[in-house]
Chain A
Amino acid sequence: MATDRARLRRFSRTERAVHWVHAAAFLVLLATGLALYLPSLSELVGRRPLLKSIHVWTAVAWIVALVFVVAIGDRRSLRATLREVDLFDRDDRDWLLRRGPPQGRLNAGQKVNTIVTGVFAVLFAITGALLWYGERDTRFRFAQTILIHDWLTYVSLVLFLGHLYLSVIHPRTRHSLTGITRGWVYEDWARQHHAKWAAGYRARRDAS
């Protein structure tokens, strides 16, 4: 019976590529960053010069890969996603206060998460570049750079754990993982969690 369940296409290949480039880079940067930063791990792992190189070059690869995906990918789907994240309708605003109202393809929380992730990516890149270049040129060395990089890490770690919980563990929401791995979600699930999107999807399909 399960094979009869209707599926809706939620994320394009380009959107998924952006997500996984970001996720993979985040995990490598987090792991190497923690080993560089936590005294107990530093002593255990050692190899600081190697870890530092991996950390820095992963950051470079992350930016290059994102530019590459945008350059060769389906930019129209990315622009549509950006527009969607930008617009908060009344239901979105209400949802942030009391969860109830029907949601589009991205609920208001997911929109906020996307925005925060984008801002953090920019701030991580700026402070990281300053830390790296500041080692060579004192004009780019500011005492607070490392403090900001640290705090971005703390907050990111909390957001990341929440994101993992909702996408992998929480029974009602974890089906969304299929959307970002294989691109589709079951229609009955979408009608519950993203009612406006599911209804619009059906209307567009019936019209064509």
Chain B
Amino acid sequence: MSDDADARPYGRRAFLGLLAAGLTSFAWAQPAGRIFAPVTSQFAAALGDLLPVGGWRIYTISGSMPVFDPRTWRLEITGLVRSPVSLGYDDLLALPRARQVSTFHCVTGWTVRDVHWTGVRFEHLLALARPLPAARAIRFVSLEEPYNDSLTLRQAALPDVMLAYEMDGKPLTRAHGSPARVVIPEMYGYKGVKWLTRMELVASQPTGYWEGLGYDQNAWVGRSNGYG
């Protein structure tokens, strides 16, 4: 045991040293994560979603994810519009296609780079319904109740904002919000409503699901929610 006169209290030094290293990682974890990103994202690509190093995490607010049925799914565009619209899945796919590669930022701190999206720009959806002059924002309603969030018409018209129905070359999976989700790369992911079922044109932005829990209405990446 410790009757050896040669015994040294290395244990507490190791404990404190390791703890200090762990705590200082708040300063170096992010740069280190960026340096290792090429390695870890290869890992993620190789192992798919089994080992989500540098990959997606799936957040839901209810007990189970909505199930998409192409025969019954509708996208309603209602509210302050001249002609309310109800689109089926095929109607959505028939609209002019847009493609983009953008980075996805989650407010909890993780990021997915180079996501390939295919979908529809909102101008084409709005052209069908023709918003009234009083309309200022779109409220997006998810099949996952009571999830909803909104964008102003000006935000929805940004060049890389879309309603996406394909991700990385394949139709959106259930976990990613099939059949269609909102994508706005300049804002944190909670603004991108998944499992979209209704777009409601409104005069002013209502409080969305996460805004009701204290998150910012304008969720600009790096400039909101306590960051920046």
Contact = CB atoms under 8 A, between A and B. Distances in A.
B52 interface: yes
Nearest to B3: A200
A145 B108 CA distance: 8
A171 interface: no
Interface in B47-86: 48-52, 55-65
Given A47-B64, A85-B11, A42 B19 contact: no
Interface residues of B, number: 49
Interface residues of A, number: 51
B207 interface: no
Contact of A148 (B11, B26, B49, B226): B26
Contacts of B60: 42, 46, 48-49
B18 interface: yes
A147 interface: yes
A144 B4 contact: no
Given A146-B110, A197-B1, A88 B8 contact: yes
A87 B26 contact: no
Contacts of B33: 144, 147
A74 interface: no
Interface in B196-228: 213-214, 225-227
A140 to B, nearest CB: 8
B175 A119 contact: no
Contact of A143 (B1, B30, B49): B30
B227 A48 contact: no
A143 B2 contact: no
Contact of A38 (B10, B49, B213): B49
Contacts of A104: 1-2
A39 B175 contact: yes
A126 B51 CA distance: 24
B52 A39 contact: yes
A69 interface: no
Given A38-B50, A91-B4, A138-B226, A111 B11 contact: yes
B15 A118 contact: yes
A18 B192 CA distance: 45
23 contacts: A39-B56, A40-B48, A40-B49, A43-B174, A46-B60, A47-B63, A48-B60, A86-B10, A88-B10, A89-B6, A91-B4, A104-B1, A104-B2, A115-B18, A119-B22, A131-B108, A136-B213, A138-B226, A142-B109, A143-B30, A143-B227, A146-B110, A147-B110
Interface of B: 1-4, 6-12, 14-15, 18-19, 22-23, 25-26, 29-30, 33, 48-52, 55-65, 107-110, 174-175, 213-214, 225-227
